[in-house]
Chains A and B, each alone.
Chain A
Amino acid sequence: AQRVTQPEKLLSVFKGAPVELKCNYSYSGSPELFWYVQYSRQRLQLLLRHISRESIKGFTADLNKGETSFHLKKPFAQEEDSAMYYCALSAEIQGAQKLVFGQGTRLTINP
């Protein structure tokens, strides 16, 4: 079965400190992984996709197939990074796609 695990429900770091949000997945196929972010009172929005290997707002995420992980990292946290972060796996089931979300990590950046 497809599963996404975000072990930390809450994460608090100081401004300027490095931040890492952990994500592990379970999927027998070739994974397509995403990070979504939800700022206070805003809609859920795509932050980045593993396939594009991009850096958005200073965040990067590397897919590690050996460890089945897709951790989100930023070297220097900013207060505006405070939000809810969701790791998601796009799984193909009987020819149809389904996006499976982790439980989310609430990131708080302290001044």
Chain B
Amino acid sequence: KAGVTQTPRYLIKTRGQQVTLSCSPISGHRSVSWYQQTPGQGLQFLFEYFSETQRNKGNFPGRFSGRQFSNSRSEMNVSTLELGDSALYLCASSHRVVGANYGYTFGSGTRLTVV
């Protein structure tokens, strides 16, 4: 089956602009999580969506937001971009049932460069 698909693969934006990243999870996976990966901070949790509801949020400013659609596809938006937002943004989907965690499958990521 198809893996987690993230689009676009690369983005270059200027400070102050906004950006929208997209993630299509594995078919049947209803949980989608977003992570920011940087050399200095490693993998930082942004948020998780399950059945169109944000269930968990990391310590990021309100400029970072997301949503999930009825087909489980998710989008992440960053407004008023700053240079420090340059990072690899990873999406992960998981098949979760109560009391069990089968792990997350990650996409290839979107590399965002803010200039």
Contacts and interface: CB of A to CB of B under 8 A. Distances in A.
Nearest to A90: B101
B43 A96 contact: no
Contacts of A46: 103-105
B50 interface: yes
Contact of B109 (A43, A95, A100): A43
Interface of A: 32, 34, 36, 43-46, 49, 51, 86, 90, 93-104
Contacts of A103: 42
Contacts of B96: 97
Contact of B42 (A94, A96, A101): A101
B33 A99 contact: yes
A98 B103 contact: no
B108 A43 contact: yes
B56 interface: yes
Interface residues of B, number: 24
Interface string B37-57: 000001101001010000110
A98 B43 CA distance: 12
Contacts of B104: 46, 99
Contacts of B101: 32, 49, 51, 90, 97
Contact of B107 (A32, A43, A93, A104): A43
Nearest to A41: B108
Given A43-B108, A44-B90, A98 B31 contact: no
B48 A97 contact: yes
Nearest to B6: A43
A86 B41 CA distance: 13
B89 interface: no
Interface string B88-111: 001010101000011111111100
B45 A100 contact: yes
Given A43-B106, A86-B42, A99-B45, 12 more contacts: A43-B107, A43-B108, A46-B104, A49-B101, A49-B103, A97-B48, A97-B56, A97-B96, A97-B101, A100-B45, A101-B35, A101-B45
Nearest to A101: B43
Interface in B58-107: 58, 90, 92, 94, 96, 101-107
